[in-house]
Amino acid sequence: MIQPPYISDVTEDIFDQVVLTRSREVPVLVDFWASWCGPCQTLMPILARLAQEYQGRFFLAKVNSDEQQGLATRFGVRSLPTVKLFKDGAEVGQFVGAQPERAIRTLLESHIPRPSDALLKTALDLESAGQREAALATLKDAHATDPANDRLTAHLGRLLGELGFVNESEDVLKRLSPRALGDNEIAAIMARLEFVRMVAGAPPLPELEHRVTANPKDAQARVWLGARYLLAGRHEAALDSWLSVVKTNRAYGDDIARRALVNAFTLLGGKGELVRRYRGLLAAAIT
């Protein structure tokens, strides 16, 4: 049987070209299988049917692990079937064992570009250029055409909140799917929105700096100041402000400064030198 152009058997000598290079254009799903593997035979027609349905929006690469043991070793395949998803030249997801079609769709949809993603990029570019009202209008138009795009929904809710439309922001964010908060980008967006809420009605940054200078023990001013710093991109100054409250008045605001630090770590991606350093400082402060 002739395979469609978006399904192919892959050998070790062409893997990098067929999988890694191609994954810079569309996501590539790699199915490690073997003829003796019963679950592999169950899974294979599901993957082929999805590839047919998506019509090239992802590429299905099939690797016979018995014949291509070098590839199985290279990618740490210890059980069959193992399915790995590659995007932009790197592995971005995987599952082991036969999975229901719904779970496979969920993995694919989180990485396959949608038409509304182009509008999202346009909106974010507008926002970066300082054209926030135009960005908001673009996000609203895009959301109307694709309300199921969680990244789009999250950015629309964030920008609405930052522009002061708090109630509308809350209504939009209620539409996020249950799986959305498992996405690192969306988790960071939601964390940022918490700081937007934190400073709603708070004094402007210069006034807060003056208050802290005049009274270093003013915990509320330091909490607000940290949020203002974070939203302005002054991350280390924000973390310093909250850490100071943790050290001197941890109980203030139901431990709000410690919670702000943890939320900031999420916003910053949960890794990197700054996050590692302040995780350590926070741990030392609360022990």
State phi, psi for 87 to the nearest 5 degrees: -145, 135
Candidate from 47-61, 72-86, 117-131, 168-182 with smallest mean pLDDT: 168-182
Under the banding of pLDDT at 50, 70 and 90, the label for residue 167 is confident
| pLDDT at residue 271 in the model | 86
Q: What is the number of other CB atoms lying within 10 angstroms of the CB of residue 63?
A: 24
| pLDDT at residue 21 in the model | 96
Under the banding of pLDDT at 50, 70 and 90, the label for residue 179 is confident
The model's pTM: 0.64
Cα pseudo-dihedral 273, 251, 232, 119, rounded to 10 = 90
Contact predicate 279/239, CB 8 Å: no
What pLDDT digit, counting tens, does each position of 209-256 carry? 999 999 999 999 999 999 999 999 999 999 999 999 999 999 999 999
| pLDDT at residue 1 in the model | 53
State the average pLDDT over residues 189-204.
92
Candidate from 26-35, 94-103, 183-192 with smallest mean pLDDT: 183-192
Give the domains, in start order, of the chain with CATH numbers.
7-109 (3.40.30.10), 115-183 (1.25.40.10), 205-286 (1.25.40.10)
State the average pLDDT over residues 273-287.
96
Strands 82-87 and 90-96: antiparallel
| pLDDT at residue 2 in the model | 61
What pLDDT digit, counting tens, does each position of 102-154 carry? 899 989 988 888 889 999 999 999 999 999 999 999 999 999 999 989 989 99
State the average pLDDT over residues 6-27.
95
| pLDDT at residue 15 in the model | 97
DSSP annotation string for 50-73: HHHHHTTSSEEEEEETTT-HHHHH
pLDDT averaged over every residue in the chain: 93
Whether the pLDDT of residue 163 is over 80: the answer is yes
Q: Max CA-CA distance within the chain?
A: 79
End-to-end alpha-carbon separation of the chain, Å? Answer: 66
Catalytic residues: 37, 40
| pLDDT at residue 166 in the model | 84
Bridge-partner residues for 171, per DSSP?
none
List CB contacts of 87: < 8 A, sequence separation 6 or more: 23, 27, 28, 111
